[in-house]
Structure 1
Amino acid sequence: MTNASAGPRLLGPADVRQLAARLDLRPTKQRGQNFVIDANTVRRIVRESAITADDVVIEIGPGLGSLTLALLEVAQRVVAIEVDPLLAGLLPETIEAYAPEQAAHFEVVLADAMRITEVPGPAPTALVANLPYNISVPVLLHMLALLPSLERGLVMVQAEVADRLAARPGSKVYGIPSIKASWYADVRRAGAIGRNVFWPAPNVDSGLVAWTRREPPATTATREQVFGVVDAAFAQRRKTLRSTLKQFVDGSGERAESALVAAGVDPQARGETLVLDDFVRITEALLETTSGIGR
């Protein structure tokens, strides 16, 4: 199934600058505004995302519509969430001009992605986005929590953030984003993106992160309780778990050690050596020791 016989025209450098000029737009670092000006790059993102004509796609931060148009080449429907009212206002006009036969399959929502509580229309099945780099991890985790219907996705983020999200235990960059993302999905690095495909060119490198939804761990603890333990374990990376987790047992190192032993974890270990299931067992053991977690 395809949306229409004629595919969208994608934006090139001249198109992006012309659209920006219409809005008298000066991209801001505050909102992480770096617009993709290369059609091959957005096609690559869509290809790597593995979306199909059956997918309902959520896009965060569509900007001027470069990736949006490429998504409309393939997806059944695209819902774009944009916080900037000028960009959100222009986007439907751009879609109508560059993808008239796909315009009925597109909707823009003027909203802050971190504050949104629902999305219109059918349940989305994929998330594909060039995320605002300054809030990429919180936005990704929020959308994964908010929309359990999401089966897979691919996001472009700062290269260092991509490394953290896809890191494995023992890596220097393994930490809170790696573990929290693994609650929702299996995450992997999906390539690098050069700086010259953006306008303006960012002063950081970019990377692609792909993910596939997985069932969360079966546990008597809540996600918030487990995440609280993860946050504490990495608050002081050089300290042992016995030290960092004693806050959950009235400051008692001995009781923290007992909980860790009960969970089958070395009290002298550090958070960077553990996987999500380890933190789940630790949280359950702490809950048996105290009722203070998550209060």
Structure 2
Amino acid sequence: MNLCDINQIKSLLARHGFRFSKSMGQNFLIADWVPREIAKASRAHPDTGVLEIGPGIGCLTQELAGRAGKVVSVELDKALLPILEETLAGRDNVEIVPGDILKLDIRQMTRDMPWLSGFAACANLPYNITTPAITALIEAQCFFAITVMIQKEVAQRICAQPGTKDYGAFSVFCQYHTAPELLFEVPPDCFLPAPKVTSAVVRMVPRPVPAEVDDPDHFFRVVKAAFALRRKTLLNSLAANLDRPREDILRALEACGVPPDTRGERLSIPQFAQLSKALRGLI
């Protein structure tokens, strides 16, 4: 069965009495080049495993199963489970796990498989869980690569550079932990039903924690405070969101050579690290 053929998809879904759920953000691929390219980008190979989120009817799952030694796919919609039993029949290296990825122990799902040299994460993520799902995958710290298809605007934020309108706290978080790369875009007509926005595929490869950050908790408090009021200056945003005297924040900015009227989106990770250290040094 061609799981990207629109007529076969409609016949399959009708046979199982399946109805799309808007609340779950379900959009199934109908362009076979997309799951093929995502699987290729995942860097999966026979010695590795893949954690997939939201297999849908299994088109990406099939591609991953052809490359990886093991595929563990987490599906929230119980109505899709019998469909996946049909479409993935005979794929002995695929395990479907019913459940919510945001409530499961991600690290545990990648353990107890000593024959695998590592795990990748791969997903066509529903737009409504994009940020928390990516955060959970990064914080699990158990993947050699995270490859996801998400809304183009979010992909641009993840990869944004300092000084651009898309750069924000989530950009800093993702780039602190990984080296992200926007690989390619996927237009709406590649999906059933077609979403109203363009999608994009991003690959994030974990990298060592930046050496200049000596206190991650404090570093991210400063980053979140800096972006909490995007229309305000860095001084005003930090003063409103950090429990520190305004005079201390001004002194820290001056020590780092950062003008107080600068906005948070101008600072790079090393600059945020320097500012974080300066603020802690005034405690």
Q: State the TM-score, normalized to the length of structure 1.
A: 0.85
1:38 aligns with 2:31: yes
How far, CA to CA, are the matches of 1:263 and 1:21 in structure 2? 63
Question: Aligned partners of 1:48 and 1:272: how far apart in 2?
Answer: 30
Does residue 132 of structure 2 align to residue 138 of structure 1? Answer: yes
Task: Mark the runs of 5 or more structure 2 residues left unpaired by the alignment.
Answer: none
Q: Equivalent residues in 2 for 1:200-211 (5 A)?
A: 200-211=193-204
Is it true that 1:110 corresponds to 2:98 in the alignment? yes
On the 8 A contact 2:74/2:101 being kept in 1, the answer is yes
Q: Does 1:170 align with 2:156?
A: no
Which residue of 2 is the match for residue 277 of structure 1?
Answer: 270
Q: Deviations over 1:226-281 (max 9, x none)?
A: 33322221111122221111246545221112223344544332111112222233
2:42 to 39, 46, 49: 49
Distance in 1 of aligned mates of 2:219 and 2:22: 33
Q: Post-superposition shift, 1:11?
A: 4.2
Residue-by-residue CA offset, 1:30-56 (whole Å, 9 max, x unaligned): 211001122222112122333322221
The correspondence of residues 46-195 of structure 1 with structure 2, limited to 5 A, is 46-96=39-89, 100=90, 103-118=91-106, 119-120=109-110, 121-122=112-113, 125-146=119-140, 148-195=141-188
Counterpart check, 1:238 vs 2:226: no
**Residues 20 and 282 of structure 1, relative CA distance in 2, 3 Å threshold:** farther
The question of whether the paired residues in 2 share the 8 Å contact of 1:9 and 1:69 is answered with: no
**Residues 48, 81 of structure 1: CA spacing in aligned structure 2 closer, same or farther, 3 A cutoff?**
same
Q: What CA distance in whole angstroms lies between the structure 1 residues aligned with 2:131 and 2:32? A: 26
Conserved? CA contact 1:37–1:66, under 8 Å: no
Tell me the SS of whatever aligns to 1:242.
helix
Q: Distance in 1 between matches of 2:126 and 2:279?
A: 36
Partner residue in 2 for 1:213: 206
Q: What is the Cα-based RMSD across aligned positions, in Å?
A: 2.2
1:78 is displaced (CA, Å) by: 0.8
When residues 111 and 261 of structure 1 are mapped into structure 2, their CA distance, relative to the original with a 3 A threshold, is farther
2:164 and 2:138 map into 1 onto residues whose CA distance is 24
Contact 1:249 1:255 in 2 (8 A): no
Q: Which whole-Å CA distance do the structure 1 matches of 2:35 and 2:85 have between them?
A: 19
SS in structure 1 at match of 2:270: helix
Indicate the percent of aligned positions where both proteins have the same amino acid: 36
- Paired residue for 1:3? none
Change (3 A) 1:150 1:264: farther
Distance 1:92 1:137 in 2: 29
The one-letter amino acid paired with 2:24 is R
TM-score (norm 2): 0.89
AA at the equivalent of 2:214: T
Q: Distance in 2 between matches of 1:48 and 1:57?
A: 12
Aligned length: 276
CA contact (8 A) 2:188 2:197 kept: yes
Report if aligned partners of 1:60, 1:131 keep a CA contact under 8 Å in 2: yes
Measure, in 1, the Cα distance between the counterparts of 2:268 and 2:201.
22
d(CA) in 1 for partners of 2:122, 2:282: 42
